[in-house]
Amino acid sequence: MALATILLVDDEIPFVETMTKRLVKRELEVISAFDGPSALAALRQNPRVEVVILDVKMPGMDGIETLAEIKKHHPLVEVIMLTGHATVESAIEGMKKGAFDYLMKPCDIEMLVAKVTEAAQRKRRQEEKIIEAQMREITSRRT
């Protein structure tokens, strides 16, 4: 059983490939995408994705736009922004739009894994809370 299921989105294909291998080695289930639209498609196809690692700078639909779409359709999925120095501001903007955290590229893999785990846990807690709330609603309705 993987620690978490993640979706890795970046336009740099070699980066995505190597990162995927390293994350898999760290017992994460990794799905990859190379731009915003395909990331959204992958999310629709794989509802088990818990955390999205999203590059801010991408041609076409950029990270911020993709983030907005993800949060719109999958509000519980946590998003970690990956950014170069020049786009820290957009990463902060991403935080405001609901990203879980942001990391500077290149980043320490262990740190990334820790963040991912953290994010996944938060997602699970959120889900649990929702289920609990729903359960309470159901039981209260029964009584």
Binding residues for another protein, per CB under 8 A? 12, 14-15, 18-19, 21-22, 25, 57-60, 62, 84-87, 105-106, 109
Residue 123's beta-bridge partner residues? none
Query: Could you tell me if 101 and 87 are in contact, meaning their C-beta atoms sit under 8 angstroms apart?
Result: no
**Which pairs count as long-range contacts for 93-100, CB under 8 Å and 24+ apart, including other chains?**
93/64, 94/54, 94/56, 94/63, 94/64, 94/67, 97/64, 97/67, 97/68, 97/71, 98/67, 98/71, 99/54, 99/67, 100/51
* Closer residue to another protein in complex, CB, 57/74: 57
Q: Which is nearer to another protein, 57 or 122 (CB)?
A: 57
Q: How far is the CB of 21 from another protein (least distance, A)?
A: 6
Residue 84 Cβ, how far from another protein at the closest point, in Å?
Answer: 4
CB of residue 126 to another protein, shortest distance in Å: 30
CB of 106 to another protein, least distance (A): 4
Q: Nearer to another protein by C-beta: 51 or 56?
A: 56
> Rounded to 5 degrees, what angle do the CA atoms 114, 115, 120 make?
100
Residue (21 or 72) nearer to another protein, CB: 21
Q: Angle between the 109-142 and 13-25 helix axes, to the nearest 10 degrees?
A: 70
